[in-house]
Structure 1
């Protein structure tokens, strides 16, 4: 009789453990779906605008390599085209070619570029790079100056990826990205914080077009 009771206790314990494990897996799956759904809303909202103009702060820190850099910049986006200004340089992508303009050196480099066939996190991919290739986790919520920022953690599926994890902070009211924190496996921390997010601005029709005549004294390096 005692043996039967002990077996019953063991079976009940196994059922409880199995039930608890199942609940944990289910909750994790639900959080993953919830995280992906929020990012989908971010991407959908970004695509609804004719254009987006952003002022941002960008920092790179790696204490082991004695790296601590910070800069400010701005970028205008329309579809997959963009004009990026950072660290005294301008980068124009017109959907076909990239133009890197360096006023300090009076030099311009021009090269063909296919934004869809690169792993580089370009401005045009800022609101879409997370569509695939990651596991999604619902992370912490923070109150930033009265704004409710929900963080989504991304972990690359590919073990060979140099990225350890990415945190995307989403403003729950606007569905706009507030910041992005990228941790690399070598200890490098890259932080991108949006200070100003404007939409549907009155940009000229040539805003994303490179006009060579504006740079008469520049050396132009055509790479292809």
Structure 2
């Protein structure tokens, strides 16, 4: 699995993750029950000053359901700024500039943030992004480890996207996303499971800037 694919999907669905589209989706309407749940999650997240979450990313190939790879990571979010750390890379954004650091080659790629871009970022989970870019419906409720989870299916309005569906599980009582599973047209599946979530934790502003001095010999690829 190429790392660039993993990175792109991480930005699309972090955080926290039916073959045919539903009748509601096919006519371009979303389920008001699902909207109420997503609005509740969005409202709670926007009320937080900061957020630190540990997650596990599981990657499945298109040929079967066996897990091809599993990675642990942590995401730090403060307003529109975020940092994602994983075993092989770091992704940092201060809402103006993004830095993607690849540990194995000691290289960082620098980009300017497109404020009108359609790609998903951890910070966008603090907004009602779903109203514009996705159609959604409530599939039902299940119970896991004593928690009632509400499962919502999201499908992108733009059908040209490589991702054709995402399944989001929301903790009904806590109003937080505990799992998101992303489905690509090529058969790949990416599941993000939140293992620990700390609201309003101490998050330093220095986390959201890449300091090259802390990475001796780093090669900088500036694409701005």
Q: TM-score range by the shorter chain?
A: 0.7 to 0.9
Query: Map of 1:158-197 to 2, 5 A cutoff?
Result: 158-197=158-197
Q: Secondary structure at the match of 1:124?
A: helix
**Native 8 Å contact 1:31 1:138 kept in 2:** no
Q: Secondary structure at the match of 2:39?
A: helix
- Give, in whole Å, the separation in 2 of the partners of 1:164 and 1:102: 28
Write 1 or 2 for the structure with the bigger share of helix: 1
Q: Which residue of 2 is the match for residue 76 of structure 1?
A: 76
Q: Secondary structure at the match of 2:32?
A: helix
The alpha-carbon deviation at position 142 of structure 1 amounts to 1.3
Count of residues in correspondence between the two structures: 197
The alpha-carbon deviation at position 216 of structure 1 amounts to 3.5
**Native 8 Å contact 1:101 1:109 kept in 2:** yes
Q: Which residue of 2 is the match for residue 211 of structure 1?
A: 211
Query: Map of 1:141-156 to 2, 5 A cutoff?
Result: 141-156=141-156
- TM-score of the superposed pair, with normalisation by structure 1: 0.78
- Give, in whole Å, the separation in 2 of the partners of 1:159 and 1:219: 37
- TM-score of the superposed pair, with normalisation by structure 2: 0.78
Query: Map of 1:1-224 to 2, 5 A cutoff?
Result: 32-64=31-63, 68-114=68-114, 116-128=115-127, 129-224=129-224
The alpha-carbon deviation at position 153 of structure 1 amounts to 1.1
The alpha-carbon deviation at position 169 of structure 1 amounts to 0.5
The alpha-carbon deviation at position 119 of structure 1 amounts to 2.6
- Give, in whole Å, the separation in 2 of the partners of 1:219 and 1:48: 38
**Native 8 Å contact 1:61 1:190 kept in 2:** yes
The alpha-carbon deviation at position 167 of structure 1 amounts to 1.1
- Give, in whole Å, the separation in 2 of the partners of 1:103 and 1:68: 21
> CA separation of 1:133/1:102 partners in 2, compared to 1, >3 Å: closer, same or farther?
closer
> CA separation of 1:136/1:106 partners in 2, compared to 1, >3 Å: closer, same or farther?
closer
Report runs of 4+ in structure 1 exceeding 4 Å deviation: none
**Native 8 Å contact 2:81 2:94 kept in 1:** yes
**Native 8 Å contact 1:156 1:165 kept in 2:** yes
Residue-by-residue CA offset, 1:156-192 (whole Å, 9 max, x unaligned):
2333233332111000111000101122222222211
Q: Which structure carries more relative contact order (alpha carbon 8 Å, separation 6+)? A: 2
- Give, in whole Å, the separation in 2 of the partners of 1:139 and 1:222: 44
Please list every run of 5 or more consecutive structure 2 residues that lacks an aligned counterpart in the other structure.
Answer: 1-22
**Native 8 Å contact 1:152 1:167 kept in 2:** yes
Q: Secondary structure at the match of 2:154?
A: strand
